[in-house]
Amino acid sequence: MVPVLTLDVDAVRTFVTVADHKSFTRAAEALGVTQGAVSVKLRRLEDRLGQRLIERTPRQVRLSAQGEIFIGAAREFLAAHERAVAGLAEPRRRFRLGIAAHVMGPEVPGLLARLKCLDPALAIEVLLDNARPLLDGFEAGTLDAVIIRSDDDRREGEILGPEPFGWFAAPHFEHRAGETLRLAATSPCCSVRDVAIQFLDRAGIPWAEVFVGGTAAISAALSAGLAVAAFPRRLAPADVIDVGDALRLPPIPALALVLHSSLTDPRSKDALRAITAAFREHRRG
């Protein structure tokens, strides 16, 4: 009889988390364990399979050829395990998360999809809105957690990490010294806009707002070469560059991403930890 190969669920989950985050440190943070524990679980899985799944160098962590083959089956394995457990476990849970519209990044939808597979019993509801309605909802108890920016509110929360800014524009954006700088900006109540124009005024740089809109609209305007904007590095489109030094524009001070949470359920807190880890890791230099 051919021996049956059995796999440890935690070890497979550790492998998938390392593959998703491309970092042992961030995987440990998402799992709520030490980096050493991540290394041990991954090594045991590799020994069990007789295959090297992760290639680790001083500069990067990536899937090996065998890891690329195994990753899809590993996700299916975890999803099947969670479905089996969820069918016998506690009733379906709901986790209501608010994310400020100017904070939401491209990393979040994919992460939410992965969390749905890993924890089928958890229904995550996401509300994108301005910070003030989100904070009102958090205080009223209609939201379990909110992720905002430090300039949105002065109350203390968990700092997820810095939110650095730069002056971004398309590579073909043209501006000559002495000309009025064409700006794309958010609504007049945005503190980043206020700080940016104050710095331009102090530097004696004439400016004019030629495009006003939300984060997605400004991204499109920058990519089209219509204007320059003080914009979060994390959210800047891949086809724009920081032109601050080239145009001798004043640097914009960094803000911070802040989490406010009232969650007490351990599984829901684990899901929130994975989401916040994604905000910490997505940085653009």
pLDDT band at 57 (very low <50, low <70, confident <90, very high): confident
Half-sphere exposure of 18 (CA within 13 A, CB side): 33
Predicted pLDDT at 156: 83
Share the mean pLDDT of the chain: 87
Express each pLDDT in 202-243 by its tens digit.
999 999 999 998 888 999 999 999 999 999 998 999 999 999
Higher pLDDT, 129 or 285: 129
Taking the C-alpha atoms of residue 13 and residue 175, their distance in angstroms, rounded to an integer, is 51
CATH for the stretch 9-86: 1.10.10.10
Model confidence band, residue 160 (pLDDT cutoffs 50, 70, 90):
confident
Confidence of residue 266 (pLDDT cuts 50, 70, 90): confident
Burial 180-202 (b: 16+ CB within 10 A, else e): ebbbbbbeeeeebbebbbebbee
CATH architecture of 93-162+256-281: 3-Layer(aba) Sandwich (3.40)
Token pair belonging to 66: 């065998």
pLDDT at 187: 73
Neighbours of 121 (CB within 10 A): 15
Choose which CATH entry (3.40.50.80, 3.30.450.20, 3.90.580.10, 3.40.190.10) describes domain 165-253. 3.40.190.10
How far apart CA 21 and CA 274 sit, in angstroms, is: 10
Dist CA 199 CA 193 (whole Å): 10
| Arithmetic mean of pLDDT, 23-38 | 91
What Å distances lie between residue 41 and 14, 56, 57, 224, 232, CA to CA? 7, 15, 18, 47, 36
> DSSP letters along 55-114, please?
EE-SS-EEE-HHHHHHHHHHHHHHHHHHHHHHTTSSPPEEEEEEEETTT--THHHHHHHH
Rounded-to-integer distance, Cα 182 and Cα 208, Å: 5
Give the whole-angstrom CA distance, residue 101 versus residue 63. 33
Same fold, 9-86 and 93-162+256-281: no
For residue 43, count other CB atoms closer than 10 A to its CB. Answer: 14
pLDDT at 285 over 60: no
Cα 167 from Cα 250, distance rounded (Å): 9
Segment 97-153, tens digit of pLDDT: 999 988 888 777 777 776 766 666 778 888 989 889 999 999 999 999 999 998 887
CA 21 vs CA 111, 233, 234, 277: distances in Å: 10, 19, 16, 9
Tokens read off for 136: 């009102």
On the question of pLDDT at 94 being above 90, the answer is: no
Q: Residue 284: which pLDDT band, with cuts at 50, 70 and 90?
A: very low
* Residue ranges of domains in the chain: 9-86, 93-162+256-281, 165-253
- Angle at alpha carbon of residue 219, lines to 60 and 284, rounded to 5°: 20
Cα first-last separation, the chain = 56
Q: What angle do CA 81, 47, 54 make, to 5 degrees?
A: 80
Backbone angles phi, psi at 283, to 5 degrees: -125, 145
Beta bridge partners of 147: 99, 259
pTM for the complete prediction?
0.64
